[in-house]
Amino acid sequence: MSDHIRIVVAGAERQVDTGTTAADLFADDPAVIAARVGDQLVDLARPLADGEKIDPVPIDSDDGRAILRHSTAHVLAQAVQELFPHAKLGVGPPVENGFYYDFDVAEPFTPEDLKQLEKRMQRIMKERQQFVRRAVADDEARAELADEPYKLELIGLKGGAEGGESGPDGAAAEVGSGELTIYDNVRRGGEVAWKDLCRGPHLPTTKHIPAFKLMRVAAAYWRGDESNRQLQRIYGTAWESKDELQAYLDRLAEAERRDHRKLGAQLDLFSFPEEIGSGLAVWHPKGAVVRRVMEEYSRQRHETSGYEFVYTPHITKDSLFEQSGHLSFYKDDLYPPVHLDAEYDAEGNLRKPGQDYYLKPMNCPMHTMVFKSRGRSYRELPLRLFEFGMVYRYERSGVVHGLVRSRGFTQDDAHIFCTPEQLAGELASLLEFVLGLLRDYGLSRFRAELSTRPEKFVGNIEDWNQAEAALEEALKKAELPYTINEGDGAFYAPKIDVHVTDAIGRSWQLSTLQVDLQTPVRLDVEYTAADGTRQRPYMIHRALFGSIERFFGILLEHYAGAFPPWLAPVQVASIPIADHHVPYLDEVAAKLRERGVRVDVDTSDDRMQKKIRNAQTQKVPYMLLAGDDDVAQGAVSFRYRDGTQKNGVPVDDAIAEIVDAVERRVQV
């Protein structure tokens, strides 16, 4: 056997001693905590083989953070079993920005328990315990983990838990299709302190955890199934430095301050009355103003771009959604049907069977009915249909979240019917339109994902290839940064998802462009081509905001409630210094209203300074104050939302400045 092997390290070929590990290769770089060998992430302690390609995995990379967080989850589980010896282990995968671990315990964890667990975790980290991987046979694993019923169940899942560590039930973090492995946490003297079933990889030692915090406790059903036992889930976060941890906690605090549900109540915009039902919002006058302005501007832009508006019912026979395929694929997400139209004779015998009706979960089948209402010629294409269509989906109570995940919402839904030859140009135009309209609402940082044909799909490959090529060409023309999600398209269509980054760095998935290859077939949609033959159009689904409600919630958080002047529910607060100045400000307000400006005159009994504070609390963009000198000069004191003020501004100048800011949609 040769004493040397040849490997490729970060793209460069090297000769190293047999038995060399990734830890040996990257010993001079303490930021490297794991390695990628080919397509597989591995522990640094793994010996390398001849011909392998190895790349370092630094702790501040996406893969590095996932490994850090999964290792921290192990330390948490060890601490739990040291402090609560009867606790049974569930799963502990990394998730976005952190990790969790599920436990079966007699009593729920308390905030005091979390403090004690953090102290025990810090002790484990100081011990510099090694994460040591070893392969085990199924029988060995069952013998070693005989007291862990949930781990025993996972062992039985081997081969069926693929899908990555962030799978829906976390099982893939433990077992996959390959060999079973257990990780021992080993003290410096060689004693095994704790062990867990795990695929890995992990940090070299517990000392390599730079910064962590336990966040909260929640109830969770084993493997996400409500028919299973309820466990206790501890959420935590871990970062590559204390500074990064603090920055994350600061972002969370800022996100909490911007929570649209709190702002909605503080600014009197909307609410979710228990009497109406979970996930169903009512819009208060101020919120309705903002929503109306958003919709009117969107409507105007659509009309300018050649869209035609339609309206469709809130409810339909089940047969339409059966034919479109939505019922079979999404039935669990729909409200239960209403059974109507049954007829009985005088003796109570059924004379005519009834019909199930469903609240519509999406608009596309109904828009297709508009297209089919009469014969269509190629000369009418592309036909762009648009609707602010209210839809209903029975989201589970655990995922309902204010306006951004509700049960009744309004899709700004467009469906474009075009010929195959028009597809590429239409997609490029659509994407340009989408980005332009989002920019008008003050959003500017975008990225996209192109999801391509999955392994199981319907239709022919030629159509898929044409649709995917047209979508990618549209992304290139828009010069929009994008990644390709291979095989992540729907079974019937590839798509583009546009993500936007908000003011505090969070990414939101907003607009979707989807080339539907199947609905025209399922619903028998055709047009007459130039040669007189009947052809199927391509159908493009385009949701720009996703839903008005969700987009409103995102904007509310993006602006922290301080909407730009053109969107603000109250654009101007007029504040008299004394009661006898009210008539003067009423005249100013009348002039503003003539120019379409939304203005309130504060006639309350509050003192002037309290009125100013009230306007600031309500995040009104402009305040116009008037006293004796202002009345005499035909002027106002012009106060801005940031607290700056100009005195003695002629009324006409003040009105002109406000109107100009509104018309130009300035983002202040």
Catalytic residues: 364, 393, 411, 413, 415, 495, 541
> Distance (Å, rounded) from C-alpha 549 to C-alpha 262?
15
- The answer to whether 277 touches 551, Cβ cutoff 8 Å, is no
Residues in contact with 399: Cβ distance below 8 Å, sequence separation at least 6, in sequence order:
405
Beta-carbon count within 10 A of 310 CB: 17
- SS3 assignment, position 210: coil
Beta-carbon count within 10 A of 90 CB: 28
Burial degree of 49 (CB within 10 A; 0-12, 13-18, 19+): exposed
- The answer to whether 234 touches 101, Cβ cutoff 8 Å, is yes
Give, for 320, the enclosing helix (H) or strand (E).
Answer: helix 318-324
Helices (H), 156-282: 242-257, 260-266
- Measuring CA to CA, how many Å separate 96 from each of 63, 67, 219, 424? 11, 12, 19, 35
Residues in contact with 482: Cβ distance below 8 Å, sequence separation at least 6, in sequence order:
447, 448, 449, 450, 475, 496
Burial degree of 108 (CB within 10 A; 0-12, 13-18, 19+): exposed
Nearest to 312 by CA among 300, 301, 321: 321
Give, for 622, the enclosing helix (H) or strand (E).
Answer: strand 622-626
Q: Does 364 appear as a known binding residue?
A: yes
Give CA angle at 76 (102, 64), nearest 5°. Answer: 100
> Distance (Å, rounded) from C-alpha 368 to C-alpha 388?
16
Both tokens of residue 631?
Answer: 């009345």
Main-chain phi, psi angles of 213, to 5 degrees: -155, 135
The region, left, alpha or beta by phi > 0 then psi within -120 to 50, assigned to residue 341 is left
- The answer to whether 660 touches 649, Cβ cutoff 8 Å, is no
- Tokens 């990257």 identify what position? 26
- The answer to whether 358 touches 314, Cβ cutoff 8 Å, is no
Main-chain phi, psi angles of 138, to 5 degrees: -55, -45
- The answer to whether 313 touches 366, Cβ cutoff 8 Å, is yes
**Beta partners for 575?**
625
> Distance (Å, rounded) from C-alpha 23 to C-alpha 28?
9
Q: Does 418 appear as a known binding residue?
A: no
> Distance (Å, rounded) from C-alpha 392 to C-alpha 338?
14
Both tokens of residue 329?
Answer: 């694929």
> Distance (Å, rounded) from C-alpha 427 to C-alpha 516?
12
> Distance (Å, rounded) from C-alpha 76 to C-alpha 111?
15
**Angle (deg, nearest 10), helices 62-83 and 111-126:** 110
Both tokens of residue 335?
Answer: 């409200």
Q: Does 198 appear as a known binding residue?
A: no
**Beta partners for 13?**
8
Beta-carbon count within 10 A of 168 CB: 9
- Residues at the binding site for Zn(2+) are 364, 415, 541
